[in-house]
Amino acid sequence: MNLIDRANQDLNMYIRYECETKQNINLKMKSFNCPLNFLLLFYSYMIFFFFFVGGLDYTRKCCPTDIQIYQGPSGFNGLHIPQYTVQIVNEASNIDGVYDVQIHCGEFASTNFIEPSIFRRNGDCGICLLKNGSRILPGEVISFVYSNILPYDLSVVQVKC
C-alpha cells in the first residue's frame, strides 16, 4: 500500500466517523449523502491529476499573439526608395508549430522581389499568406525585405495549430 492509498484510507475513516456521528447515517463510499465525502473525493481526484497525471489537459490552442512581427527601416534600394526588413517569429513554445498564418497587409506592394513561397498576397482581400501556409516551428524566424515609400502595418489575422 503506497502513501497516497494510506492517506486516503485514513481520511476515509475520519470522514466516515464524522458523517456517522453528526448525521447518523450509514456512509457508503460511493454515496454523496455527506458533504465531507464529496469533498474527499474531489480533493483526491485533484491531487491525483495534478501530481501524478501531470495536471489538467492544458492543450493550448494557438492564437495570433503567438506570432510576432518586427519590422524596421534597413536603408534604401537602388532607386533610393526606403527598404524595410521584416522578421516574423513564432513565439509559441508549447505547441509543435503553426500553419496557415495569415497576415493583414493591406495593399502590400514592393519595388523589390519577395519570394512568393515566403510572403505573398492572397488576391485583393488585403490578406497575405506566410510561407505558403506551411508549418512554422517554435522559434522559427521568417525574414524578408521590401521597398516602399512608407512601411506597411502588418498584423496577424489567423493562425492554425
Q: Which residues of the chain have pLDDT under 50?
A: 25-32, 57
0.75 cut: is pTM over it? no
For residue 149, give the CATH number of its domain: 2.60.40.1170
- Residue 61 is predicted with a pLDDT of 78
Q: Which tens digits make up the pLDDT trace of 29-38? A: 444 455 556 5
- Residue 30 is predicted with a pLDDT of 47
- Residue 116 is predicted with a pLDDT of 94
Rounded CA Rg of the chain: 29
Residue 59 in domain: no
Structural domain of 13? 3-53
DSSP string, 43-83: HHHHHHIIIII-SS---PPP-GGGEEEEEEEEEE-TTS-EE
Domains in the chain, number: 2
Residues 72, 49 share a domain: no
Grid coordinates given for 65: 499573439
Residues 49, 84 share a domain: no
